[in-house]
Amino acid sequence: MAAGEGLAVFGGFHPVAADGCPDGTATMLLFCPAEPGFWPRMMAEPEMRDDAADPIDRWSTRVIGALAKALQGKAIFPFGGPPYQPFIAWASRTGRAWASPVGMLVHDRDGLMISIRGAIALPVPVDLPAPGPRPCDACDAPCRSACPVDALGPDGYDVAACHGFLDTAAGRDCMVLGCAARRACPVSAASGRLPEQSAYHMRQFHE
């Protein structure tokens, strides 16, 4: 069902009380863009052509909301707050995302190109595949030295330094192709995300 809408299952978990999931949730599934091929599909969606704000969030609400209704679950989104739901903690709970050497989460399939569009809280238990290995364990961490201004690291993210660099001529590379640290991840490079998609998100972040 997700694949038919251009989405993939990012991962899932069976909640405990400390996870902060809705009461009665037996399985939580997180959804992300299905790559390769997500961006051309997204550009053809009505939300991308109506000139209204937040097109991808509105598309996510429509599509994941419909999936949740069909599955008799509850749709939850990482936007629309405050309050905001603990999506970073939920992503880690799937066993498919971990802290990377540059601080942000790394996914076993998408690398540092993580984009969680929403989740569905299901009232029934769903069998989940066993988690795979953390990709960083077999990697020499090119992400660690890729940022031109060393804005990313395990101790935090220097947002001001990042924005300042993006305002320079040298920062055009990140603006057009996407964050250099994210691109340096070998798993990211194999994920299939198009530069046009990364450029769109960089504009949203910086402008």
Q: What is the pLDDT of residues 149-203, one digit of tens each?
A: 999 998 899 999 999 999 999 999 999 999 999 999 999 999 999 999 999 999 9
| CA separation for the pair 204, 164 (Å, rounded) | 15
Give the model's pLDDT for residue 169. 97
Share of the chain above pLDDT 70, in %: 100
The pLDDT mean for the chain works out to: 96
Query: Which residues, including other chains, have CB under 8 Å from residue 144's CB and lie 6 or more apart?
Result: 101, 102, 153
Give the model's pLDDT for residue 160. 96
pLDDT tens per residue, range 125-137: 999 999 889 999 9
Q: Compute the average pLDDT of residues 106-133.
A: 96
Rg over alpha carbons for the chain, rounded to the nearest Å, is 17
| CA separation for the pair 149, 93 (Å, rounded) | 31
* Confidence class for position 207, pLDDT limits 50, 70, 90: confident
Instruction: Report the predicted TM-score, pTM, of the whole model to 2 decimal places.
Output: 0.95
